[in-house]
A and B are shown apart, each in its own frame.
Chain A
């Protein structure tokens, strides 16, 4: 059971963040960056799919059943994944905070005793290393850029930091699969290093915004699901449409 919950959390983070990023399609600030963002979105949705297929085998249902027929409270993604994109800088800041976490998480899972997770992580980490390189460079470029881009990135960080702290809200299930202390330390250290280099400041005295991984979501998830699940709900299994 805890295995199913852990897999679902990983998958839902990827699917919901992937969906959010896909909203940039046709709206990127540059053609090249539009394509780059959509590549990341597709990577994440592909990773989610691998997990849903495995979950489907464990539960004896189809991947679509899991992705498209659950309501918001049964989704276990972090709140930060469902937040609206904001401007390009906000999207890149969220991506950087998540990519850094995702990278260290997968690094640990490449040594997992769970065979499926190990294979999954070895395949996915190649993609995620690139995601991190991409978002890290944008945080540096915009944070340490003009006064305007700096201010916008600081605003983005102030907004997102409390949500990013949900990455570190580990529970007993996480502890079965991860060295949570090590994950927390490596994430903190590497994020702080880049934020410093980008001449930004991590906000102090903030309270974590959490609940997503237990199924308590912001209003945004409902809208995402309405959009994402419409076809399955209106035309089950997309048989006649």
Chain B
């Protein structure tokens, strides 16, 4: 049984009600059921979670780092996209 036969899975854990599932790491498993069980054993042994999502890593498509200039740099000089130019009335308090 060599590890390379087992597909890689990405694991997402919801730590408590109302929060998002967050990526915590990856693991190997033969199918989705085993991936959830392995995730339970590997990533929730210290009560880290109440819900688990797994997805086979090959289904995740990522942006290329070689594109990062054209993807992300143009946003840097567009400060007007942040709603920081409004005066908030005192009655509203902290937002």
Contacts and interface: CB of A to CB of B under 8 A. Distances in A.
Interface string B33-63: 1100110011001000000000000000000
Contact of A36 (B3, B33, B41): B41
Interface in B9-24: none
A111 B70 CA distance: 66
Interface string A5-34: 000000000000000000000000111110
B87 to A, nearest CB: 55
Given A134-B37, A137-B34, A32 B29 contact: yes
Greatest chain B CB density within 10 A among A31, A32, A35, A36 is at A32
B79 interface: no
Contacts of A30: 1, 3, 6, 28
Interface in A97-124: none
Given A134-B37, A137-B33, A137-B34, A32 B28 contact: yes
B91 to A, nearest CB: 51
Interface in A25-52: 29-33, 35-36, 39
Contacts of B41: 32, 35-36, 39
A112 to B, nearest CB: 28
A134 B27 CA distance: 17
Given A29-B1, A30-B6, A36 B28 contact: no
Nearest to A88: B1
Contacts of B37: 36, 133-134, 137
B23 to A, nearest CB: 17
A35 B6 contact: no
Contacts of B42: 31-32, 35
Nearest to A36: B41
B36 to A, nearest CB: 11
Contacts of B30: 141
Contacts of A35: 38, 41-42, 45
Contacts of A32: 27-29, 38, 41-42
Contacts of A39: 41, 45
A87 to B, nearest CB: 11
Contacts of B6: 30
Interface in A140-195: 141
Contacts of A134: 37
B1 to A, nearest CB: 5
A91 to B, nearest CB: 14
A141 B31 CA distance: 11
Contacts of A133: 37
Nearest to B37: A134
Given A32-B38, A137-B33, 4 more contacts: A29-B1, A30-B3, A31-B27, A137-B34
10 contacts: A30-B6, A32-B29, A32-B41, A35-B45, A39-B41, A39-B45, A133-B37, A134-B37, A137-B33, A137-B37
